[in-house]
Amino acid sequence: MFFRIIVVFVKKNLNIVTLMRYAIISDIHSNLEALRTALDHIGTLDVDEIVCLGDIVGYGPNPNECIELVTMHCSKTIKGNHDQAAVDLMQTVYMNRLAREAAMWTNKQLIPGAKDFLAHLPSKASIENAVLVHASPFEPEEWHYIMTGLDADIAFDYFDTPVCFIGHTHRAGEFVSQINGNHGNEKRIINVGSIGQPRDKDPKLSFGIFDTGTLAYENVRISYPIQKTVDKMHTAGLPSELAERLFYGL
């Protein structure tokens, strides 16, 4: 712990690239209960910084509050397709009915400062040994889904670091490249899963912990008060299908 504090101090003051431990969160989707639970838990872990891979808003009932927490806690934040749609309703033509309804509801709720923040988020960023995108390193703003090994094979050509972190599908998992069977050159695409709307049949919120020195990665899953979020969604008049799915992780 003491050593890590010195390393971070040296890094911040001398701009030397060195060991860092990151919490990587994604797809919060205006679920304040899930985000607060995740941040509280991250506070108990040995983590230097938190980064966010986008989709702060969309689907859930607390867009402004989630944006405020992200701006307070995350050192880097990437734009997601729902962040973009919430400030540019033209983008909702690419969405299904439920996502579109939620985007239009979100657009009405957002305070000017929050809209401005979402509109100016970058589509890509990097940390030591890893690149950060919302959907795919291949055409990041086209929001390609990486669901299969075939999808991942295309994406491996579009980053040069050992690891690329993604969200977007709301399914935690990892793809490893096979470059001539040589594991010395392998790259990894790691999906950290979703804080606010997991879809891998596990309703627990999901995020990742990454060590830029050892490249070690760990997926963390924890419970949060789902009923509270669901009650707020009903009160807000958001589509009930979007609320019920949270209980099942779908």
Q: Which residues bind Zn ion (CB under 5 A)?
A: 27, 55
Phi, psi of 63 (to 5 degrees): -65, -50
Residue 201, Cβ neighbours under 10 Å: how many? Answer: 9
Alpha carbon distance 145, 203 (integer Å)? 21
Strands 217-222 and 205-211: antiparallel
Share in percent of the chain as helix, strand, coil (round to 5): 40, 20, 40
Nearer to Zn ion, 27 or 101 (CB): 27
Judged by CB, which is closer to Zn ion: 20, or 207?
Answer: 207
- Name the closest residue to Zn ion (Cβ): 55
Q: How far is the CB of 61 from Zn ion (least distance, A)?
A: 16
Q: Of 20 and 52, which CB lies nearer to Zn ion in the complex structure?
A: 52
Tokens 């960023």 appear where?
Answer: 125
CB of 80 to Zn ion, least distance (A): 6
In whole angstroms, the minimum distance from the beta carbon of 6 to Zn ion comes to 37
Please say which residue, 48 or 55, places its beta carbon nearer to Zn ion: 55
Task: Count CB neighbours of 150 within 10 A.
Answer: 8
For the CB of residue 174, give the shortest distance to Zn ion in the complex, in Å. Answer: 18
Supply the minimum distance, in Å, between the C-beta of residue 50 and Zn ion.
18
Residue 16 DSSP SS3: coil
For residue 9, give Cα distances in angstroms to 5, 12, 20, 71, 215. 6, 5, 11, 21, 21
- In the bound state with Zn ion, the residue whose beta carbon lies nearer, of 20 and 118, is 118
Closest CA to 65 of 113, 125, 124, 133: 113
